[in-house]
Amino acid sequence: MNQSVDPRIQERRRKVQANRSRSSARRLVWLLAFVAAVAGGAWIVQSPALAVKEIAIDGATRTPVERLLAVGGLERGDPLLLVDAVAAEESLRTSPWVADVAVSKVFPNTIEVIVLERRATAIVEHRSGDVAVAVDGTILGAATDLDISPSGKVLASAAPGVVGDVITDPLDRAGIRFLSAWQGPFAVISQTDGELWAELDGYTVRLGGPTEMEQKARSLDAVLLEGQPTGSMINVIAPTRPTVLLPEGATTPPTTDP
């Protein structure tokens, strides 16, 4: 015996089926829209209109910027939107010449690189080899390989290390700081009994401990401007109160009234 289905139930089933069909259609439409958006976004990101066409560099004379960026994975033609500026900066900091750097994206096609380079201020001399160093003690390269005009050299107490290393001996570092501020004749800095001494242009200079090196450089310059006799021993341990020991037979240079 066949049992008939209540028309109300049939109508309910029809509506449920229709709602399911509409829901499936909406999900399909949303899925297609999402796929289209992703594909469109990917096209925009990869579009030649937003590719890196120029690397604008400011401040780099010794840093091989483009080569270091390429090693880090950034070259012309790369999608600008995908460039990692922080990673690019880290790639550039692998150069000992780079003291600081900023990389930015300039739409639509440019990478801008601003570099603050270190400057070779002194030579550190050791039997293992002479190296050029910056004021912070960073080794920039072999002194014989670089076209530089340092203000003097430090006779190192220990082997300085390799390019990119930093001089660690406190007295050697102090001697480098002195030379970074020194504007006079070429000076040779050495250590004796825990103190720094300098030889320059016929003068012996007692620099003392590793403090106030910039002030000592300025003090020494002022003393030499007074015209000290060659062979004098100048003491700038206390830079505000320098003293001069004249060689035997020499007289104190006359002072000029202002």
- Residue 50 is predicted with a pLDDT of 80
Q: What is the spatial distance between Cα 47 and Cα 196, in angstroms, rounded to a whole number?
A: 62
Per the domain annotation, does 18 fall within a domain? no
**CA nearest 219: which of 256, 187, 178, 185?**
178
Considering the domain architecture, whether residues 68 and 182 belong to the same structural domain is answered as no
Considering the domain architecture, whether residues 126 and 241 belong to the same structural domain is answered as yes
Considering the domain architecture, whether residues 148 and 93 belong to the same structural domain is answered as no
Considering the domain architecture, whether residues 204 and 144 belong to the same structural domain is answered as yes
Is residue 194 packed enough to be buried (19+ CB in 10 Å), middle (13-18) or exposed (0-12)?
exposed
> Which residue shows structure tokens 């050029």?
132
CATH of the domain at 186: 3.40.50
Phi/psi zone of residue 208: left (φ > 0), alpha (ψ -120 to 50 degrees), beta?
left
Per the domain annotation, does 16 fall within a domain? no
Per the domain annotation, does 107 fall within a domain? yes
CA 68 to chain centre: 13
Tokens of 162: 């390799």
- State pLDDT tens for residues 95-109: 999 999 999 999 999
Considering the domain architecture, whether residues 127 and 176 belong to the same structural domain is answered as yes
DSSP 8-state class, residue 155:
E
Fill in the amino acid letter for 208.
Answer: G
Which of the listed residues 72, 101, 117 is the one where a domain comes to its end? 117
CATH of the domain at 60: 3.10.20.310
Considering the domain architecture, whether residues 112 and 224 belong to the same structural domain is answered as no
Q: What is the spatial distance between Cα 258 and Cα 241, in angstroms, rounded to a whole number?
A: 20
Which of the listed residues 67, 91, 117 is the one where a domain comes to its end? 117
Q: Are 196 and 190 in contact (CB under 8 A)?
A: yes
Reduce the DSSP state of residue 73 to 3 states and report it.
coil
Which of the listed residues 75, 97, 117 is the one where a domain comes to its end? 117
CA 92 to chain centre: 8
Considering the domain architecture, whether residues 131 and 235 belong to the same structural domain is answered as yes
Q: What is the spatial distance between Cα 54 and Cα 190, in angstroms, rounded to a whole number?
A: 48
Q: Which residues of the chain have pLDDT under 70?
A: 1-47, 252-258
Considering the domain architecture, whether residues 133 and 232 belong to the same structural domain is answered as yes
Q: What is the spatial distance between Cα 203 and Cα 99, in angstroms, rounded to a whole number?
A: 34
Residue 85 belongs to what domain range?
50-117
Considering the domain architecture, whether residues 86 and 190 belong to the same structural domain is answered as no
Per the domain annotation, does 147 fall within a domain? yes
- Residue 26 is predicted with a pLDDT of 66
- Residue 254 is predicted with a pLDDT of 52
DSSP 8-state class, residue 165:
-
- Residue 128 is predicted with a pLDDT of 87
Considering the domain architecture, whether residues 77 and 133 belong to the same structural domain is answered as no
Per the domain annotation, does 11 fall within a domain? no
Terminal alpha carbon distance of the chain:
133
pTM of the model: 0.76
Considering the domain architecture, whether residues 239 and 126 belong to the same structural domain is answered as yes
- Residue 42 is predicted with a pLDDT of 47
Peptide bond into 160 cis (omega under 30): no
Per the domain annotation, does 214 fall within a domain? yes
Q: Give me the helix-helix angle, 213-225 and 170-181, nearest 10°.
A: 50
- State pLDDT tens for residues 120-160: 999 999 988 899 999 999 999 999 998 888 999 999 988 89
Q: What is the spatial distance between Cα 115 and Cα 150, in angstroms, rounded to a whole number?
A: 22
- Residue 5 is predicted with a pLDDT of 57
Write the CA distances from 128 to 10, 39, 125, 144, integer angstroms: 98, 60, 8, 13
Is residue 186 packed enough to be buried (19+ CB in 10 Å), middle (13-18) or exposed (0-12)?
middle
Per the domain annotation, does 83 fall within a domain? yes
Phi then psi for residue 178, to 5 deg, are -60, -45
Q: Are 97 and 64 in contact (CB under 8 A)?
A: no
- Residue 14 is predicted with a pLDDT of 66
* Domain count across the chain: 2
Considering the domain architecture, whether residues 135 and 86 belong to the same structural domain is answered as no
Per the domain annotation, does 227 fall within a domain? yes
- Residue 33 is predicted with a pLDDT of 53
